[in-house]
Structure 1
Amino acid sequence: MAYQTDVKPTRAGLLALKNRLRMARKAYNILSMKLDGLILEVTRLAPQVKKEHELLIKRYNRTRFLIAAAYMIEGTVGVTVAAYSVEVKPEIDLSQRNVFGVKVPVITGKNVKTDVIERGYGLLGTTLVIDDLADSYEELLDAIIVYAGNEATLKRLLAEIERISRRVKALEHMVIPTLEETELYISRMRDEMEREDTSRLFHVKRRKEEAAEKTDQERKNKALE
């Protein structure tokens, strides 16, 4: 029998054990509901992350193609000048949000997509390949930001699911059964102790009654003498 030996077979010890068992069952129910919610969230998010990854690869390949074309048409100098002429720089913001009590990262971008006239390079001094490359780069950067945030969220949720799963299994297969067996063991022990106490009190009472009867008989005998 797998029970705890550090619990004293007293009323206070049994009450404390019942409180621990009640808290363990409550924790098990809460963690189970949280685990179900996280699994649903991962099930919803995983296909989305896969699509975003495919889009990211597609935009990355297109950007590589346009970069090669731009170097061929504009040359290294033309591409470098156009790149350094950009006035509006993209910014990345990092924050957090809660998903079933789990803090996950939120990645957003500012000034990622800009208008042609806001890019700084002269429209007359460049060809359309520079515009196409700039559009492709902005789309790629936007895809990277979206994918990075959701992929980091997915990893964080998966790690939390693994951690909670271990705790749920430990509560279900170890902690709660051990506490239940310990409660049963202590209850049986206390019942046995109460029976022994009852039997002992009965014998003590019987001896007192016998002693009292003997005393009364001796008094009667003395009175008759």
Structure 2
Amino acid sequence: MAEDIKPTRSELIKLKRKIKLAKNGYELLKKKKDGLIQEFFSILDEVRKNRDVLGEIHKKSITSLELSRAMDGTLAVESTAFSVTKNPEIKVHTKNIMGVSVPEIEIIQGEVLDERNYGIIGSSSYVDTVVDDYQELLEKIVLSAEMETAMKRLLLEIEKTRRRVSALEYIVIPRMEGQAKFIRARLEELERENLFKLKLIKKK
């Protein structure tokens, strides 16, 4: 360390500035990490709730499908399914959470009941219930995908920020403070040497 550092006052001033900047950066990154963690757990709570709802809707969809098959017959249900030619359109946007880009998925409903080719007349209420239930299931699946992707991206950013915070706290700042300490000690030593030389000159 001694060989790489110039023990001068100007170098000490530069180091003090760098230490101050590093400490400010450390505080900002620490706040960012804490904020990201808070956002992560907030989304995690929503994901857990959505998974529970998703499970319930999935059970309800399966039940309504089986009921429709029992009442209308499997062939009628499959014929109705094949008559649907349009699919819902999905658009993916991005939103910013504390500097992290996360997806925001929008479902644009491509069909309503009278656009499903089979229409309300000619289909049983059991089939319409199946369609409604599975449409709701699709919406919850998309929402789940959106939130879980956001969680993964936040988790990656938290880990990256945590590494930066640790590097500043345990490596960068201590190293610079050690360098500053070395320069101060060297400057004091040089000052003592100069005083000693002055005393010798004075005696002579």
**Given the two structures, how large is their TM-score scaled by the length of structure 1?**
0.80
Is 1:197 the counterpart of 2:204? The answer is no
| Distance in 1 (alpha carbons) for counterparts of 2:58 and 2:139 | 11
Aligned to 2:99: 101
What's the CA shift for 1:88? 4.5
Aligned to 1:66: 64
| Distance in 2 (alpha carbons) for counterparts of 1:18 and 1:71 | 77
Cα separation, partners in 2 of 1:60 and 1:5, compared to 1, 3 Å: farther
Cα deviation, 1:35-54, whole Å, max 9, x if unaligned, reads: 12112212322211110111
Whether the 8 Å contact between 2:69 and 2:77 is mirrored in structure 1 is: yes
- Match of 1:125, SS state, is coil
Aligned to 1:137: 134
Q: Which runs of 5+ in 1 are unaligned?
A: 211-225
| Distance in 1 (alpha carbons) for counterparts of 2:2 and 2:166 | 19
Is 1:46 the counterpart of 2:58? The answer is no
Q: Which runs of 5+ in 2 are unaligned?
A: none
Identity of aligned residues (%): 35
The one of 156, 175, 180 aligned to 2:177: 180
CA RMSD of aligned residues (A): 2.2
Aligned to 1:206: 202
Cα separation, partners in 2 of 1:4 and 1:202, compared to 1, 3 Å: closer
The structure with the largest alpha-carbon Rg is: 1
- Match of 1:7, SS state, is coil
Aligned to 1:216: none
Whether the 8 Å contact between 1:94 and 1:108 is mirrored in structure 2 is: yes
**Given the two structures, how large is their TM-score scaled by the length of structure 2?**
0.88
Whether the 8 Å contact between 2:2 and 2:182 is mirrored in structure 1 is: no
| Letter of the structure 1 residue corresponding to residue 34 of structure 2 | D
Whether the 8 Å contact between 1:4 and 1:178 is mirrored in structure 2 is: no
What's the CA shift for 1:165? 1.5
Cα deviation, 1:125-160, whole Å, max 9, x if unaligned, reads: 222111010000110011111111111112211221
Q: Mean alpha-carbon deviation: is it higher for 3-12 or for 82-91?
A: 3-12
| Distance in 2 (alpha carbons) for counterparts of 1:201 and 1:97 | 68
Cα deviation, 1:31-75, whole Å, max 9, x if unaligned, reads: 011112112212322211110111111111222222333334434
| Letter of the structure 2 residue corresponding to residue 45 of structure 1 | I
Whether the 8 Å contact between 1:38 and 1:161 is mirrored in structure 2 is: yes
- Match of 2:67, SS state, is helix
Cα separation, partners in 2 of 1:23 and 1:9, compared to 1, 3 Å: same
Aligned to 1:122: 119
What's the CA shift for 1:201? 4.2
Aligned to 1:27: 25
Whether the 8 Å contact between 1:94 and 1:107 is mirrored in structure 2 is: yes
| Letter of the structure 1 residue corresponding to residue 202 of structure 2 | R
Whether the 8 Å contact between 2:113 and 2:119 is mirrored in structure 1 is: no
Where in structure 1 do 4 or more consecutive aligned residues deviate above 4 Å?
none
Cα separation, partners in 2 of 1:55 and 1:18, compared to 1, 3 Å: same
